[in-house]
Amino acid sequence: MSFRVTLDSVSYSSKPTGQDATAITRRLQAAGSTECDAATFCEHVKRGRTWVGGCYEPKRGAWGKFVGQQIFALDFDNAATVTVNGRPVKDETGHEVKRALRPGEAGHLDPVDALDRCEQLQLEPMCLYFTMSAKCPDWPKYRVVFDMGDALDQETAQGVIQSLLTAFPEADQACKNTNRLFFGSNGEVWECWRLWDDAG
């Protein structure tokens, strides 16, 4: 089954910087969406390439008209902000310092447990992959990607995102916009779609 998604053509072996993200965004805006299937998408992610679930008409320097979204994702950072005397600790760049959540600590969700919950909710994820800043097994940071089967309009897509975030309160609740950049992986990609494909 094919679907449309917005794919970047450049591979990264480490998490892209803010400057990289600006360049990635400009390339994606100009390119518009691409038709692909689950195998092609997973290979794209394995190569450290960025993607956006929302599809837009190509436009230079800005996002064009929204035309639909079929592919959605949730981020699981398993992280907590480091605090001293109730205040967040910041690094030299002004970003809050994070630490890994321990298993059993509120907000922690193991990747296998995330897939178990998907099964309980009768959701069939396309894949689960570990992000570039993951330090497994001590700090599993990962992303679960879903194919909703049909391209949805923007209002419906926003509703799907909200429903997924409600079902997975451990996920990064900031992942709400249809043009959010999702970076690729430089590690493992669990191709869940192959299980559903074999079962079907």
Q: List the end-to-end C-alpha distance of the chain, in Å, as a whole number.
A: 12
pLDDT, position 93: 86
| Cα(13)–Cα(168) distance, integer angstroms | 28
Mean pLDDT, the chain, rounded, equals 93
Q: What is the pLDDT of residues 166-192, one digit of tens each?
A: 999 999 998 889 999 999 997 789 999
Which tens digits make up the pLDDT trace of 15-61?
999 999 999 999 999 999 999 999 999 999 999 999 999 999 999 99
b/e map of 116-152 (b: 16 or more CB within 10 Å)?
eebeeeeebbbbbbbbbebeeeeebbbbbbbbbeebb
Predicted local distance difference test score (pLDDT) of residue 132 = 87
Can you give the length of the chain in residues? 200
Q: What is the pLDDT of residue 115?
A: 96
| pTM (global) more than 0.85 | yes
pLDDT for residue 12:
95
